[in-house]
Structure 1
């Protein structure tokens, strides 16, 4: 496919995403089935164009004079080419020449808009490329910096790896992956980072021997930090209450050096399914997976024997995922206010359920990949009000788990009495909130 044909295809895919409100990955897969002539390079380039357009949807529509919610796919792609790819009106015009498979030529108005001012007078939600209804919640957290924080979330995400110390070390893993030019993480002592290529595509890491043998796992550095800050002790009793596919479970097992007992549970068997193979590959021998029995709320309590016994309970709570927009840019445009209210209710219920497992003197780690106070500090404050026997651990104490790096991380992150908030702009990680609470002895 020519570059012009790829742009036409991107306009077609964006049209499907906007019309059907489906995840971008599904629409791209469907497009690939209908256009089997497109090679892997074409599909990668198309995916990059589509995701970059979704990252910059608000700002691209703005410079093209398109009202929010009424943007045309063509205008969004053209605006993205200018904002994200740095092409001027003349360069875009050469791609849109109306030839076979190319987009129609630019209109006079399109050319003028692409040649004019960009975002100087745009409101914060446009400069930050996030839905307008989220402007007030983000202003509550970041104030006048919310547009810059949003812009950080509109960038491309790197590929972060966690070195599995049960099977390797950072030096060996970096040597195994030297052909991918990994660099050490800024904060996590276990992190290696691989930059995406020009199309924003990460290498096929899951085909690498280091991955297949369990020496490395794909895990954002912010997620690694959340596990490290939870500070699971060697030989401790730990419950990962929302284990999902097992990313943090594996990180905890390595931090515990396979000593003690780590229980992994999730109330959704589908989310829990990948954990079995991952635990085996990682060589995590201290993990006991507890699966729910029967339909939710109808089966036996498979965690009853853990009540009041855990040194650490980790709650990686379901959330709106606003901190992962770099990796899921289409999700921010499909998100609705009702989803926030639903998640807030669910988080409170999970926190209350988690409290019964924490032993006196034990810790409760509350983690989200959200930037919103409603899901973060508000949840912690409300939990502490409901459970007088718990107190929040000051971030100044929590970061000691990272040593000197923790001091620097505390300075970079947004610190609140209830916990630390990591963001792409501040820490170069996905957005994560980490709060540690201690039960009175």
Structure 2
């Protein structure tokens, strides 16, 4: 492919990503995989160049562009070498016209600027677009630190037990230790939430928004085998992805339950007031994961944010009914917006007098609004807010 043809391919791929963001469709990574599968003629260098154009545009503009061409024209205004590629050549983009729409604005939509948690200042927000590291969690039931050192001597031990950081690009999924269940890929922030769940010697745990089971498996790996763990979610596709991970990890104390949206309580009736620990890793806007998924910004609107906040509040309240007296509730979001974090916790505590917040002792994170805040700039993790509450 010529450089101009690569730019045109990036425009076409951006068109699909923009539509998916508007309609809450597939992720940018999945769209890109499908896009290139249909274009076998594109070699590895072509794919890398197209992806580079696409993600440069995604990271640059906080507001969703009207289409891929507008996105690339906006980027080209700041990148002169791109302007020459709008040459009207065969397979390349048409020549630039003076009155064409073009993307503009800051890297974060203006309507979001005053919604971040107070500590997330300009330098903190800039770090949300740096490259994410590759963190792993060691499964002590199947491996140990010596195994890690023998497999990846370059692995950097992190502040939490059993947490390591590997060089970006390390081939994990083809490694013997991954396929043998000795390790799992997991951001250090997610591992911190698991660590916050561990005190209290729970016997029955409900992971109410388990997704693909990353935190469920993390809990199982660090608790005795006689602890019963229930992984529940409303997304059949995501929940089904826990099965191969269970087989790799060797965990046999995990049960999965598929919930019906808006009817979760019906499937969870038998757990009411029975659980020693309930974890709610609630659906959120994902502002804390922009390093990995920058196109999430293009999915956000004030309306969608309000819908998400309402869902979080409902799940928070529902989860509290599952906790036994003296038990704990951990509420977490991979978001740095106050409305999804501190606001939710303080509103819950104002409405539920039989609960108190518990201080969490971790080597990372900072106390914030009855909970803990983790950020890429301060902690080298994805962005998270979580709180640990006890039922009196």
Contact preservation (8 Å) 1:367, 1:434 = yes
**Deviation at residue 300 of structure 1 after TM alignment:** 8.8
**In 2: Cα distance, 1:307 partner to 1:426 partner:** 38
The verdict on how the C-alpha distance between 1:183 and 1:9 changes in structure 2, with shifts beyond 3 A counting, is farther
Matched, 1:363 2:295: no
> Mind listing any 5+ residue stretches in structure 2 that lack a counterpart?
99-103
Per-residue displacement from partner, 1:286-328 (whole Å, max 9, x unpaired)?
Answer: 2222334xx5566994433322222211111111111111111
Q: Provide, for residues 188-240 of structure 1, a one-character-per-residue CA deviation record: whole Å limited to 9, x for no partner.
A: 222222343xxxxx444222221111111111111111111122555632211
Q: 1:224 to 1:48 in 2, by over 3 A?
A: farther
CA RMSD of aligned residues (A): 3.2
Cα offset, 1:162, TM superposition: 1.3
Matched, 1:208 2:181: no
Q: Any residues of structure 2 matched to 1:402-413 within 5 Å, and which?
A: 402=362, 406=363, 409-410=364-365, 413=366
Q: Which stretch shows the higher mean deviation, 154-163 or 71-80?
A: 71-80
Equivalent of 1:191 in 144, 156, 163: 163
Which sits farther off after the overlay, 35-44 or 269-278? 35-44
Q: How many residues align?
A: 382
Q: Aligned in 2, Cα 1:235/1:425: closer, same or farther, shift over 3 Å?
A: closer
**2:318 aligned residue:** 353
- In 1, the alpha carbon distance for the partners of 2:90 and 2:349 equals 64
For 1:78, the equivalent position in structure 2 comes to 76
The separation in 1 between residues aligned to 2:350 and 2:173, in whole angstroms, is 45
CA contact (8 A) 2:330 2:387 kept: yes
2:118 corresponds to which residue?
Answer: 142
Whether 1:274 and 2:241 are equivalent positions in the alignment is yes
Higher relative contact order (CA 8 A, sep 6+): 2
**Unaligned runs of at least 5 residues, structure 1:** 62-66, 83-88, 109-121, 197-201
Summarize the alignment of residues 15-34 of structure 1 with structure 2, pairs less than 5 Å apart. 15-18=15-18, 21=22, 23-34=27-38
Which of residues 305, 309, 328 is equivalent to 2:274?
A: 309
Q: What corresponds to 1:117 in structure 2?
A: none
For residues 108-127 of structure 1, the aligned pairs below 5 Å read: 126=106
TM-score by length of 1: 0.77
Any conservation in 1 of the 2:376–2:382 contact (CA below 8 Å)?
yes
Distance in 2 between residues matched to 1:48 and 1:367, nearest whole Å: 32
TM-score normalised according to structure 2 size: 0.85
Richer in helix (by share) = 1
Q: Which residue of 2 aligns with 1:222?
A: 189
1:154 and 2:154 correspond: no
The CA distance in 1 between the partners of 2:12 and 2:258, in whole Å, is: 43
Deviates more, 1:231-240 or 1:272-281: 231-240
Determine the C-alpha separation between the residues in 1 that align with 2:48 and 2:139.
Answer: 29
In 1: Cα distance, 2:308 partner to 2:262 partner: 18
Kept after mapping to 1: 8 A contact 2:57/2:72? no
